[in-house]
Homo-oligomer: A and B are copies of this chain.
Amino acid sequence: MATDTPQRLLDAALDVFAEQGYQAATIQQIVKRAGTNIAAVNYHFRDKANFYAEVIVYGCEKDSSAPPDFMQDNLQPEQQLLAFIQWFLQRGLKIGKESLLDQIHMQELANPSPVLDKVVEKLIRPVHLQLRDIVAALLPENCAEETLRFHCFSVIGQCNLYKIGKPIMTRLYPDIELDEQAMQRLVQHIYSVSLAGIRAEHAQS
């Protein structure tokens, strides 16, 4: 009947695993959402663990929000940094297929599984290296490796909090709401702080 059962299973599983995490997600939920039966999972994907791994790979490949090549545009490093922050923040805060992988990151951070290796290599490292290049261009030459890493992590840390810390933020400030304009101000803020931090590095050296 359905020709693309594996496909539908992958899509459904991406949702469910993102929402519930590996342990809490049940095959029942997934197959119900995919409109097929339990045995199909074991038939197409052997077992739950392997299914999860293939779901991650599938999610990574299908990830449409791959980072633009910030270097390609002939922008000043400052503007590249701004563009990066904007892209990175908006990717995680959209509510859609694009943020499923972020939710899975979250789950993996809480309960790391062997799959995390793949995710880091396929998704995180490429992004990180781009940011690294941008920041490196802004820092003094011959800057220490550690300093470079620190600044990268400062940028990422500031952005990340708005992705993973949402449950806490809404409890700290129930009136919070990140509409489009507030988001733009936030991007500017993180950009401003990060750049100020980087520039301070020049003064110190």
Contacts and interface: CB of A to CB of B under 8 A. Distances in A.
Chain A interface mostly helix, strand, loop or mixed? helix
Interface in A167-205: 167-169, 171-173, 176, 182, 185-186, 189-190, 192-197, 199-201, 204
A33 to B, nearest CB: 18
A179 to B, nearest CB: 12
A23 interface: yes
A116 interface: yes
Interface of A: 20-21, 23-24, 105-112, 116-117, 120-121, 124-125, 128, 146-147, 149-151, 153-154, 156-162, 164-165, 167-169, 171-173, 176, 182, 185-186, 189-190, 192-197, 199-201, 204
